Amino acid sequence: MSISDRVIAIIAEQAVLEPSDVTPDSTLEDLGIDSLGLVESIFAIEEEFDITVPFNANEPTASDFDISNVAAIITGIEKLVSEKV
Amino acid sequence: MKRVVITGAGTINSLGHSVPDTLEAMREGRCGISELEFRDVDRLSIKIGGQVRKFEAEGRFNRQQMTLYDRFTQFTLTAAKEAVDQSGIVFSGDTAARSGVVLGTAGGGVSTWDDNYRSVYEDGKNRVHPFVVPKLMNNAAASHVSMEHNLKGPSFTVSTACASSNHAMAQAFQMVRSGVAPAMVTGGSESMLCFGGVKAWEGLRVMSKDACRPFSANRNGMVQGEGAGVFVFEEYENARARGADILCEVVGFAMSSDASDIVMPSKQGAARAMAGALSDARLNASDVGYINAHGTGTAANDKTECAAVADVFGPHADDLMISSTKSMHGHLIGGTGAVELLACIMALRDGVIAPTIGYEEPDPECALDVVPNEAREARVDVALSNAFAFGGLNAVLALKRM
C-alpha cells in the first residue's frame, strides 16, 4: 500500500467511512472529524509510519504541517517519512 | 445557615514552600516554571513544568512515614500543617469528632504507580513493596491529614480532574454552612511531574513547550505544576469567639456539568457555574471585583472562559479584573483551585491582584482586564475562583472580604 492509501485508511477508520469516500480534497470537517478525532488520527499515523508529527492542538496552523485537507496531510506525511533516517 | 470563614491557609508549590513565600512570588509576578528534572525527562517532548524544588521529605517525615507517603501526600501534609498552625484551631473532643477533611486530587499517587510499573515492567521485578496500594490511593492524603490532626468527622477525597479541589472545598463549605461540621480542613494536591505523568499529558497535544501564557493571543497550551493548597474552613461564630485571625469569608459556590464533551469546554456550563455561585451567595454580578480564572493557556479554555464571563457579568465584565496565576505556578490539575484560592485571599485581604504573567499579545477573544504581567493594588470586596475540568465538570467559589 502506498503512503497515500495508508493515510486514507487511517482517516477513513477515524471518520467511520469507506476509504473510497475519503478524497484528496476532503477537509477533516467534511469528514466529521473533530479536534479529538484529529489528535487520534495523528497518533495513529505516527504509529503507522514511526514518525513524529509536529502538531499542537492550540495552534494547529503554527507548524508547517498542513491539515487543511487530506491531500495536504498526505504530502506532509510523505515529507516526514522521506526525512526519516 | 452558618457563616463560613477561612482561618488558616497552607501551601507548597513551585513559587514557594509556604503561603507568605507564594504570595510574595505572586506579587512580584515571578515564574515558577522551568526545565523539569526527573528520570527519563530526555524521552519527553514536553520538558517544562512548575516543579517544587528543594523539598526534602527526609528530615520532615520519618522512615516509616516515608514508606507510606507518596509525594502528593507529603505536599498535602506540609500544607495542612501550615494551615492548621495558622488557624490555631484545636481538634479535640466534640470539635474533633465532627470536623473532617475533604481534599481534591486528580491522580493521587502518580509517581508511586510510575515507579512500581517501571519496577515490574521495565526492570522485570516480580515483587513490589507491601504499601504500594495504601501509598497510591487517591484518599491517602486525606486519611493521613485526618490522622495527623485528629479529624474524625466526614472525610473523603474528590476527584474531578482540574476542578477537584474546588469541588472538595465546595463540599467542605456546605458541611460547615449547614452545621454538619464546626470546621473542615480542605483543599487539594497533585504530583504528576514524573515520566508517566507528563507523558500522558503530552499525548493530548495541548501542552506548551515554552510557557503558559493565558489570554495572550500567542498562547500555545498549558504547563503542568505540582504542589498542594490546604485551608481551614470554620464556622464564623466559633472563629470569632476564639479570637482567630479571619482571612476571608466563603459566601457561596456552585457546581455544574456541561454534559457535552469529554475535553472541550462549554461557555454555558462555565457561565452557569459562575452565575450559580453569585446566586448562592446572594450577590450581584457588580459586587465582584476579581475573578481568579481557570485560565489554562489553551486556545479553547481561555476564549470560552472569557465569553462566559462576558455573558454572566454583562457590561461589568469590563470593570472587573480577571487573572490566571497558572502562568506562574503552572496547572496543578486536582490541586490547582486550592493554590489559586490564595490569589483570591490576597486580593480580598491585602488588596493586591496577582498578575497573569507571560502576557504578550492581546487576543480580541479574551478582551478583559487580565492584569497583564504586573500585580496591581485594588480594593476588592468579592472574588470568584473558577475551575472547569475535563469531563465538563465545573465548580466556582465566591469569597468575601471581612
Please tell me what DSSP assigns to residue B348.
Answer: I
pLDDT at site A63 = 73
pLDDT at site B101 = 98
CB B246 within 8 Å of CB B239: yes
List Cα–Cα distances, B172 to B103, B105, B168, in angstroms: 9, 15, 6
List Cα–Cα distances, B327 to A62, A65, B139, B354, B371, in angstroms: 21, 28, 28, 10, 12
Mean pLDDT of B234-256: 98
pLDDT at site A41 = 94
Residue B51 and residue B81 in one domain: yes
Read off φ and ψ for residue A40, nearest 5 degrees: -70, -40
- Domain end point (choices B218, B241, B264): B241
pLDDT at site B269 = 98
Q: Does B133 touch chain A (CB under 8 A)?
A: no
Q: How many domains does chain A have?
A: 1
Residue B133 and residue B229 in one domain: yes
A36-81 pLDDT tens trace: 899 999 999 999 999 999 888 888 777 778 999 999 999 999 999 9
Residue B282 and residue B235 in one domain: no
* Burial zone of A18 (CB within 10 Å; 0-12 exposed, 13-18 middle, 19+ buried): exposed
Read off φ and ψ for residue B326, nearest 5 degrees: -60, -25
The SS3 assignment for B173 reads: helix
Distance from C-alpha of B211 to C-alpha of B358, rounded to nearest angstrom: 7
Residue B274 and residue B349 in one domain: yes
Distance from C-alpha of B348 to C-alpha of B195, rounded to nearest angstrom: 38
CB A43 within 8 Å of CB A14: no
CB B214 within 8 Å of CB B326: yes
Residue B57 and residue B187 in one domain: yes
List Cα–Cα distances, B74 to B51, B80, B102, B266, B307, in angstroms: 14, 10, 16, 35, 38
pLDDT at site A59 = 84
- Domain end point (choices B184, B206, B241): B241
Indicate if the pLDDT at residue A35 is higher than 90.
Answer: no
Domain housing B226:
4-241
B138-179 pLDDT tens trace: 999 999 999 999 999 999 999 999 999 999 999 999 999 999
| A44: chain B residues, CB-CB within 8 Å | none
Distance from C-alpha of B167 to C-alpha of B144, rounded to nearest angstrom: 20
CB B324 within 8 Å of CB B295: yes
CB contact under 8 A, A57 and B206: yes
Residue B201 and residue B266 in one domain: no
- Domain end point (choices B217, B241, B265): B241
CB B158 within 8 Å of CB B179: no
Distance from C-alpha of A51 to C-alpha of B165, rounded to nearest angstrom: 38
B75-126 pLDDT tens trace: 999 999 999 999 999 999 999 999 999 999 999 999 999 999 999 999 999 9
Min CA distance, A25 vs chain B (Å)?
Answer: 25
pLDDT tier, B73 (very low <50, low <70, confident <90, very high otherwise) = very high
Distance from C-alpha of B149 to C-alpha of B18, rounded to nearest angstrom: 19
Residue B229 and residue B256 in one domain: no
pLDDT tier, A8 (very low <50, low <70, confident <90, very high otherwise) = very high
Distance from C-alpha of B377 to C-alpha of B265, rounded to nearest angstrom: 31
Domain housing A32:
3-83
Residue (of B343, B342, B370) closest to B354 by Cα position: B343
Q: Where are the beta strands (DSSP E) in B73-152?
A: 100-104
Q: How many domains does chain B have?
A: 2
Indicate if the pLDDT at residue B279 is higher than 80.
Answer: yes
Residue B21 and residue B129 in one domain: yes
Residue B337 and residue B278 in one domain: yes
Q: Residue A38: which CATH number?
A: 1.10.1200.10
Count Cα neighbours of B28 within 13 Å in the Cβ-side half-sphere.
11
Q: Does B200 touch chain A (CB under 8 A)?
A: no
Min CA distance, B223 vs chain A (Å)?
Answer: 13
Residue B178 and residue B324 in one domain: no
pLDDT at site A65 = 86
pLDDT at site A62 = 74
Q: Does B391 touch chain A (CB under 8 A)?
A: no
Distance from C-alpha of B382 to C-alpha of B367, rounded to nearest angstrom: 21
Residue B196 and residue B327 in one domain: no
pLDDT at site B57 = 85
B33-72 pLDDT tens trace: 999 999 999 999 999 999 999 998 888 999 899 999 999 9
In degrees, rounded to 5, the angle at the alpha carbon of residue B15 between the alpha carbons of residues B167 and B74 is: 60
In this complex, which of A42, A43, A56 lies closest to B220 when CB atoms are compared? A56
Q: Residue B350: which CATH number?
A: 3.40.47.10
Residue B219 and residue B324 in one domain: no
